[in-house]
Amino acid sequence: MGIRSGRTDSRVSGDDEGGASGNSSHGANHARPDDNHIPAPAPAPAPAEKSQPQESSHKKEKSVLQAKLTKLAIQIGYAGSTIAVLTVIILVTQFCVYTFAIKKLPWRATYINNLVKHLIIGVTVLVVAVPEGLPLAVTLSLAYSVKKMMKDNNLVRHLDACETMGNATAICSDKTGTLTTNRMTVVQSYICEKLCKVTPNYRDIPRDVGDMIVEGMSVNSAFTTRIMRSQDPTQPPMQVGNKTECALLGFVQALGQSYEAVRERNPEESFTRVYTFNSVRKSMSTVIPHKGGYRLYTKGASEIVLKKCAFIYGHEGRLEKFTRDMQERLVRQVIEPMACDGLRTISVAYRDFVPGKAEINQVHIDQEPNWDDEDNIVNNLTCLCVVGIEDPVRPEVPEAIRRCQKAGITVRMVTGDNVNTARSIAIKCGILKPTDDFLILEGKEFNRRIRDANGEVQQHLLDKVWPKLRVLARSSPTDKYTLVKGMIESKAFNKRQVVAVTGDGTNDGPALKKADVGFAMGIAGTDVAKEASDIILTDDNFSSIVKAVMWGRNVYDSIAKFLQFQLTVNVVAVIVAFIGACAIQDSPLKAVQMLWVNLIMDTLASLALATEMPTPDLLLRQPYGRTKPLISRTMMKNILGQAVYQLFIIFMLLFVGDRMLNIPSGRNQQLSTEPTQHFTIIFNTFVMMTLFNEINARKIHGQRNVFQGLFTNPIFYSIWIGTALSQVLIIQFGGMAFSTAGLTLEQWLWCLFFGVGTLVWGQLVTSIPTRKIPKKFSWGRGQPDQEPIQSGPAYDTDLDKKPRAGQILWIRGLTRLQTQVRPCPPRQLADTRAHTRVLTDLPSDLQCADTLGILR
């Protein structure tokens, strides 16, 4: 089956085709400043979009990862608190029974030390069990990714956007400048019934027609648009300003003419009226004085301008009436073939207002026309030429889109170009294949399919369109917002769509805000678009979005690696303390030792595991989705498998290690007894197993080569080596401070042997088929709550469901860290290529320099 397209006469778009925003200044003789400087209003939003939700400056929706981590942290905290309380109760009960019931000793003041010791052990178990390092790991991973993403041309304005991008299932991309190079050149022209696929010779064009083409292209464009000589002689000239107008000015130069000379003869101050380009007109018109009268030049989308033409210059410059049949033939034989080649077609026309005798294509005037009557002024034009402008596809875009599709992300193109141009570019990019059974719709047909008789958008109608829609042509910013909103709110599939959107215009603001992740163009984007966005593409390149996907998925995996490592340590440390309390009335791991282990597994591990670099393998799997468990079956297999090994080794050392290593037993020691080698070996072995398991934790998808990419992360191996050296100092010189006794070389070798054993054991655990593990062994499954959270110091007392104290501490901890981390250095943006007004005015919620840095 072939590609289906709904082709209509809709010609509404927010893209800049054939026009600019107007000239910078106009004369006072005949000018009407109100119209010269203020473009016609954009189309009013459809009824369904009029009441767009207002963004709160104080509340935000939890990200998927944050919501899951909040639940997980609270569940772990409950479990840890329960075991800590039980540990204290068992220790105190055993002490009281042994002291007062069995030995029948009287109360002594020194017993308070024993009770305090038991309480300290319980508090230590609680400290180890509660994952207070999770907020740090989340924020470190996000902040580290944000720093690195700057080098990949992604300026992240909101930390959560980085993680959200990893779950993206759809990308709605603009065409011009994002999928294409935005360096436009005229490659075909139709003048006086001659179709040229190379630049025509100016002498072959009838003189009057040629002069008017040059003058129309030169003056009917923003004077800020110009072609400048490149500083590098090997490079093509620089295009400054509107790229479509640059293409027309380049065409003037290719004809051997000078647009600067024309502009000198017709300065901006002499202009009578300018009808600026907007998404309603799809054209731009300029009125200049001419031989005692006025001349109107118009350029714009061919199908728009040609409908307003009544005359055309034919063979050898003869003036002919432009009949409907001629118009249809021109569209069929010239414009459509150009569009099918991926060219943007622009028509240039004119109209004369003369005080004397008027020719057939002129208008006689006795007084100045009513310039406010635009419909009558810009009408009955004379067509001068049609040009085809090429905007080549960026060479890296087809591969980037292929990688997105392989990663389970659907790319849709939303453009203002006509359907033939859009189809051609989509095929060249790889968004479409000629045999695909997908939809290509124009804006008018799109709205006809999704709206009822009252003009209201119906979600069930939209759900029939968007799954197969790949290209939306001749679309307006309202169409883009409607599509994004409908995809996000759709329940057509079990998994909610996570939508990323690109935009550069002021009217793209609502769509950028509505999207899960909004990408604004750093070079061509307006300030309004940038402020509404989550990430700014400093190179306006689609391939940078693919890099954002990689970083987003890497954030998720980095947090998962940290959780896999931390939960293993949690399980082992808590069980050792609990069983030790029951079996020997003491914990083999002393309070200060467990605090050192807590430092290893929280702060240092979050630094080591949360700073992994992304790999291309991240794009070989589908998005995780919002309901995927945070702890997968593979991770749970690794956690429990390593916990079994470590518990077996520790309990073996605890109960038979003294005889096996021929050292004095550390069991049943008095409170004031010196540290023993027995318990020191247990502590050292536990730390060695933890350190080597940290290498295992780098892989969470069942990969066997745990050393792959190890030396690409200097932070990881630096922390690992530093921790190992610190452990040597603690064991050999810690003494009473760390409850350790120095070990011999043989004892150190035994500790290292058991530590390295975690790597061997990890290979055995990896061999267990994950598919045979019941799904109930995963943890953190289910749709996260979407209730808003408060980022400020106080919570809304009117909320029916108030967060508990533990939740408040968790959320505030995460929020405080996020607001203290500076994702973008204040002046780092100045070193990128996007220096043209990138974020000159930040919104109120980003004024804090500690959050993002003020970009100047």
Does residue 209 share a domain with residue 313? yes
Q: How crowded is residue 229: how many other Cβ atoms within 10 Å of its Cβ?
A: 10
Q: What is the pLDDT of residues 705-747, one digit of tens each?
A: 999 888 888 999 999 999 999 999 999 999 889 989 999 999 9
Q: Would you say residue 54 has pLDDT above 80? A: no
The secondary structure of 596-646 as a DSSP string is HHHHIIIIIHHHHHTTPPP-GGGGGS----SSS-SB-HHHHHHHHHHHHHH
Work out the pLDDT band at 402, boundaries 50, 70, 90. very high
505: CATH: 3.40.50.1000
The last residue of one of the domains, among 390, 409, 427, is 390
Q: Tell me what the mean pLDDT of segment 751-772 comes to.
A: 93
Q: Would you say residue 790 has pLDDT above 90? A: no
Q: Would you say residue 836 has pLDDT above 50? A: no
pLDDT, position 390: 92
| Residue 426 domain flag | yes
pLDDT, position 398: 94
Structural element, H or E, at residue 548: helix 542-584
Q: Are 242 and 15 in contact (CB under 8 A)?
A: no
Does residue 605 share a domain with residue 505? no
Q: What is the pLDDT of residues 231-240, one digit of tens each?
A: 888 888 889 9
Q: Would you say residue 10 has pLDDT above 90? A: no
Does residue 222 share a domain with residue 132? no
**241 Cβ neighbours under 8 A, 6+ residues apart:** 20, 222, 224, 225, 226
Does residue 168 share a domain with residue 116? no
The top-scoring range by mean pLDDT among 93-107, 176-190, 598-612, 659-673 is 176-190
Catalytic residue among 35, 160, 174, 391: 174
pLDDT, position 275: 95
Does residue 569 share a domain with residue 524? no
Does residue 529 share a domain with residue 513? yes
Work out the pLDDT band at 168, boundaries 50, 70, 90. very high
Work out the pLDDT band at 804, boundaries 50, 70, 90. low
User: With pLDDT > 70 as the criterion, what percentage of the chain qualifies?
Assistant: 82
Q: Is 325 a catalytic residue?
A: no
pLDDT, position 57: 38
- Minimum mean pLDDT range among 17-26, 196-205, 542-551: 17-26
pLDDT, position 486: 95
Q: How far apart are CA 235 and CA 241, in angstroms?
A: 18
| Residue 828 domain flag | no
Q: What is the pLDDT of residues 525-536, one digit of tens each?
A: 889 999 999 999
Residue 238 has φ and ψ, to the nearest 5°, of: -80, 135
Does residue 114 share a domain with residue 191? no
Rounded to two decimals, the pTM is 0.76
Q: What is the pLDDT of residues 204-223, one digit of tens each?
A: 999 999 999 999 999 999 99
The last residue of one of the domains, among 509, 540, 571, is 540
* Boundaries of domain holding 459: 154-180+394-540
3-state secondary structure 126-173: HHHHCCCHHHHHHHHHHHHHHHHHHHCCEEECCHHHHHHHCCCCEEEE
Q: Are 29 and 291 in contact (CB under 8 A)?
A: no
Q: What is the pLDDT of residues 76-88, one digit of tens each?
A: 888 888 888 988 8
Q: Would you say residue 851 has pLDDT above 60? A: no
Q: What is the pLDDT of residues 493-507, one digit of tens each?
A: 888 899 999 988 888
Q: Would you say residue 294 has pLDDT above 60? A: yes
197 CB-side CA count, 13 A: 4
Chain CA centroid to CA 477, Å: 20
| Residue 9 domain flag | no
**3-class DSSP state for residue 573?**
helix
| Overall domain count for the chain | 3
Does residue 739 share a domain with residue 590? yes
Does residue 576 share a domain with residue 489? no
Q: Tell me what the mean pLDDT of segment 266-288 comes to.
A: 91
pLDDT, position 856: 32
Residue 298 has φ and ψ, to the nearest 5°, of: -130, 140
